[in-house]
Every structure is written in structure tokens, then in C-alpha cells.
Amino acid sequence: MLRKDIDKEKEVVQCMIELYCRGNHNPQKNRLCVQCQELSDYALKRLDLCPFGNSKPFCSNCKIHCYQKDMRIRIRNVKRYSGPRMLFYYPHLAIRHLFLGITRKERRPK
């Protein structure tokens, strides 16, 4: 995964967290509650510190779980809620993410 691919994955994660927060915590657009801002900061930091660097797979295809257990549960809840809604709010990101996920499954680290 190139640096620009990591930036695109960051964009997807941020959009998912925004959708989740808007639907569950804070109805104001473009503003995250404290918990969601904390999760967003954590997720972006984890992407920056990924041990696979440029050959990074999607987190769902990775054998290493670099998220702390409580943060992993929180991000999983965000993805379950936001994943289907991404098609309506950010269709270009959702389709690109699905396509890349399918084409990169064979690059799973060993």
C-alpha cells in the first residue's frame, strides 16, 4: 500500500467515524464528540505506525491486531454501523474501498 493509499484509507476511516458519531452521538455535521474524536485520533495514529508500511493490507485482512482491545471493539462497531451507510453518503469512497479490498486479499501478510 503506497503512502497515498494509506491517506485514502485514513479518509475512509474518518468518514465512517463521522457517520457513526452523527447518527449516534452528535447530530452536528463535521463535528465529533469527545469519544469519537479520541477514536479517530487513535485510528489515524495506528495507520501511521502500521508495521507493514507500504505493503499494508486492510486491517480486516491483517493477522496482526495493533488496536487495543477496547478500541478494536469501538472501531468494529463504527464499521458495522457506517459500512452500509457509506454507499449513500460517500458512494465513491465505498465503491473504491470495496474494490481495493477484493483485489488486495491475496496480499495478506504471513
Listed by start position, the domains of the chain span 6-99
Task: Report whether pLDDT(2) > 60.
Answer: no
How many percent of the chain have pLDDT more than 70?
87
pLDDT digits (tens, 9 = 90+) for 26-52: 777 778 899 999 999 999 999 888 887
* 54 confidence band (pLDDT: 50, 70, 90): low
Give the C-alpha distances (Å, rounded to integers) separating 73 from 7, 68, 70, 98.
Answer: 23, 9, 5, 21
Taking phi first (over 0 means left), then psi (-120 to 50 degrees means alpha), and beta for anything else, what does residue 45 get?
alpha
Q: How far apart are CA 25 and CA 19, in angstroms?
A: 10
Nearest CA to 15 out of 79, 106, 58 is that of: 79
Bigger pLDDT: 3 vs 99: 99
pTM: 0.83
